[in-house]
Amino acid sequence: MTPVDRRTDPAAGTDSLLQLTEAPPLPTGPGATRCLAHPQELTLRGIPVMCSACRARRDWLLINHGRNVWVICRCSNQWLEPEVTRADFDALIFFPDGTLYPSIDEALAALGFDGTFTGIYLD
C-alpha cells in the first residue's frame, strides 16, 4: 500500500487544523539559519548601531546562523556583529513567524533588505 500525504490528498479536505499539525517542523539546531526583523534602534554597549553605508539608525534585519549574528540594513549593507550573541538573538525572538525561504537571498528580497528600500524606514 502506498502512503498518502494528507496535505495533497483531496480526500483529506481542507481542515486547517489538520494542515497545521502535519506541517513540516521549522528548522532548529546549530545548523538552522533564522532571521528577525528589528524595526527599533539597536543599542550595543550603550551605543546605537548606525549603518556605515547610509547612516540608518533603525529598521534592521538580524540573521542568526550557528553562533554568528549578522545585521543587515535596508540599503543591503551587512556586517557580522560579534556583540550580538545567539542568546541575545533568542531573547529577541518571541514568536517566530515560521516563514521558510529557499535561500538567504530570497529572504532578503522578500523582506525588503536587498537594497530596494534604501533610505526608507518601513513602520
Look at residue 17 and tell me if it is in a domain. no
* Structural domain that includes position 90: 28-111
* Closest C-alpha among 53, 47, 32, 46 to residue 96: 32
Look at residue 86 and tell me if it is in a domain. yes
What contacts 92, CB < 8 A, 6 or more positions away?
36, 38, 62
Question: Number of structural domains, the chain?
Answer: 1
What the block records as the C-alpha cell of 108 is 532578503
Residue position matching grid coordinates 516563514: 99
Look at residue 73 and tell me if it is in a domain. yes
Look at residue 23 and tell me if it is in a domain. no
Look at residue 1 and tell me if it is in a domain. no
Evaluate whether 97 touches 34 at the Cβ level (below 8 Å): no
Give the pLDDT band of residue 3 (cuts 50, 70, 90). Answer: very low
pLDDT digits (tens, 9 = 90+) for 37-50: 899 999 998 999 99
Question: Does residue 7 have a pLDDT over 90?
Answer: no
Look at residue 13 and tell me if it is in a domain. no
Which uninterrupted H or E stretch holds 29? none
Question: Does residue 64 have a pLDDT over 50?
Answer: yes
24: left (phi over 0), alpha (psi -120 to 50) or beta: beta
